[in-house]
Structure 1
Amino acid sequence: MSRSSAFILGLAFIIGSIVVFFGGLKLGEEFLSKERSVIVKGLSQREVEADIIVLPIQFSKASNDLNALSIELESDSKKIYNFLLESGFSNDEITFMPNTINDKIGNSYNSDAQIAYRYDGSGGLTLYTDKIKLARDVMNNLSSLSKQGVIIQINNYEIEYLYTKLNDIKPLMIEEATNNAREVASKFAQDSNSSLGKIKKASQGQFSIQNRDKNTKHIKTIRVVSTIEYYLKD
C-alpha cells in the first residue's frame, strides 16, 4: 500500500471515529433525556344524587292464636302493599318478604312467666324504585297505617341509595383526571426548568362511590385518581 493510500485510509478512520463518537454522544443524550420522567396523580371528584332507593318496610304482630296471627300478618302485608300502590308505585317496584312466626314457649331461653303472647310474627316488603322523592315522602306517611293496626318498622341503616349511571359520566371524569395530572406535571416541569414530553405510562384507578355523609346517604361522592408518568425534556 502506498503512503498516500495509507494516509487517506487513516484519515477516513479518524473521521469515522469522530462521527461515531458524536453520534453516540447525541444518542446517549437523547436516551438520557427520554429516561427523565415525572409521575403525577390526577383527581376527578363530583357529587351526584342517587337514582335508586331500596326501602325495606317491616311489620310485626303478636298473638296467642297461631292461626289468627298468620291471617293478621297476611292482612298487614296487603295493607302496606295497597298503600304503596295508592301512593304511586307499581307492582314491579314492590317485593314481598316471607312472613315468619316465632313460638316463644318453644324457645328454651324463655319461661312462661315472661311471656304475654306465645307467638310473635313479622314480615315485610321491599320497595325498589327510582322515585326517590316519593319514597322519602311515603316513609313519613307510613305511620298512618297504625290506625289500621299495622305496626311499621323502618331501620334507616337498612335503607340503600344507589347510583346506577356511572358509565354515563366515566369518560368525562377520566378526562378531568388526566387534565388535572397534566397540570401538575407541567408545573413540576416548569419548576425544574424542563418541558413536558409525551406520556410514558398511565394507569386509571378504580372509581369509588361513597355517601357524602351519614345524614345524606342519597347524595353520593364519586372519585377517581389517574396515575400518569410523563417524559421530561430540557
Structure 2
Amino acid sequence: MENSSRPSLLGLGLSIAVGLIASSAIVSYTLDRMASNKQSITVKGLAEKSVRADQARWRIVVHGHAPVLADAFAALRANQPKLRSFFVEQGFKPEQVTPGRETYQPVHKVDQDGRELREIESYTASQELLLTSSDVAAVDKAAGRIVSLEESGVPISVQNPEYLVSGLEQVKMSLIASATRNARERASEFAKTGDAQVGAMKSANQGAFYILPAQGGGSDDEYGGAYDKTTIDKLARVVVTVEYGISQ
C-alpha cells in the first residue's frame, strides 16, 4: 500500500506545481497589462489670439479747495461743469458720464519739520466722474487732451483709461479648444519617438487665462491670470495641461 501511494502523491505534487506555475504566469500577464494600461504622457498645449478692446472706462476726480468746508463744496460744484464740458467737447454724451458721491477731506497744518498738526488748515471737496464708452479710440484721444483742462487751472486727478474686452468667456472657450488640439499634436510628436500611440484623454487642466499687451507691458491679476487694461490691442493666451494614455 505504501508503494502504490507514492506515485499518487508524486502526481499530486506535480499537478500543484504546474498549477502554481500557470497561475503565476497569469498573474504576471495581468500585472503587465495593468502596468501597460497605466502608461501615459502629460503635455501642455498653448493657444493665442489677437483681441482688441471694445469698451473703455475713464475715471477723473474733480476737486474744490477752500479754508471753509462749505466754500470747498461750492468750489467743487463750480468746477464740475468744466469737466463735463470737456467730455462733451471730446464728442461724448452727458449720459455716458456717471458721477460718484461728493466727499471731502480735511487738510491739516504742518509744522516747520513737516509734521502734521491737529489743526485744520483747509478742506478739499471731491467727486469722481466715470466716463464709459465703446469708442475706445475717442477715449484714447481725449486722454491725450486732458492736460489742457489742467493747464486752465481746473483741479483734477486723472487716472489712465481702462481698455476692456467684452465676450471674454467666448474668447476663452475658443482658446481652450485650440490649446487642447495643440496638446494632442505635441503628445503625438512625443509618442512617435518611442514608437507609441496616443490614446484617450485621461485628464485635463486649464492653466491661467491671460490678456496681455500685444507689444508687451504691464498687467494686473484678474480672470485667474493676467488682464492688461492699459492697451487697446491685446493678446489672449491660454495654456492647458492634458494627460493622454499611450500604448506600444
Aligned to 1:43: 46
Task: Map 1:198-213 onto structure 2 (within 5 A).
Answer: 198-211=200-213, 212-213=216-217
Measured against aligned partners, the alpha-carbon deviations of 1:43-72 in whole angstroms (never above 9, x if no partner) come to 112342222222111223323454443222
Aligned to 1:109: 116
Q: What SS class does the counterpart of residue 195 from structure 2 fall into?
A: coil
Aligned to 2:238: 224
Match of 2:77 among 74, 77, 80: 74
- Alignment of 1:129 with 2:136, yes or no, is no
Question: Which residue identity lines up with residue 109 of structure 1 in the other structure?
Answer: E
Aligned to 2:149: 145
Of 74-83 and 146-155, deviating more is 146-155
Aligned to 2:191: 189
Question: Which residue identity lines up with residue 223 of structure 1 in the other structure?
Answer: R
Question: Which residue identity lines up with residue 87 of structure 2 in the other structure?
Answer: L
CA shift for structure 1 position 165: 1.8
1:143–1:152 contact (8 Å) kept in structure 2: no
- Alignment of 1:172 with 2:152, yes or no, is no
Structure with the larger RCO, 1 or 2 (CA within 8 Å, 6+ apart): 1
2:210–2:238 contact (8 Å) kept in structure 1: yes
Of 61-70 and 134-143, deviating more is 61-70
In 2, Cα distance between equivalents of 1:103 and 1:36 = 69
In 1, Cα distance between equivalents of 2:127 and 2:37 = 67
Q: What SS class does the counterpart of residue 145 from structure 2 fall into?
A: helix
Q: What SS class does the counterpart of residue 141 from structure 1 fall into?
A: coil
CA shift for structure 1 position 151: 2.6
Question: Which residue identity lines up with residue 183 of structure 2 in the other structure?
Answer: A
Unpaired runs of 5+ residues, structure 1, are 1-12
- Alignment of 1:155 with 2:159, yes or no, is yes
Of 206-215 and 133-142, deviating more is 206-215
Measured against aligned partners, the alpha-carbon deviations of 1:153-205 in whole angstroms (never above 9, x if no partner) come to 3133xx43322221222332112111111121111111112122222222333
In 2, Cα distance between equivalents of 1:181 and 1:175 = 10
- Alignment of 1:96 with 2:99, yes or no, is yes
Of 222-231 and 198-207, deviating more is 198-207
Q: What SS class does the counterpart of residue 207 from structure 1 fall into?
A: strand
2:64–2:73 contact (8 Å) kept in structure 1: no
In 2, Cα distance between equivalents of 1:65 and 1:32 = 82
Question: TM-score, normalization: structure 2?
Answer: 0.69
- RMSD, aligned CA: 3.5
Question: TM-score, normalization: structure 1?
Answer: 0.73
Q: Which runs of 4 or more aligned residues in structure 1 lie more than 4 Å from their structure 2 counterparts after TM superposition?
A: 19-30, 105-108, 146-149
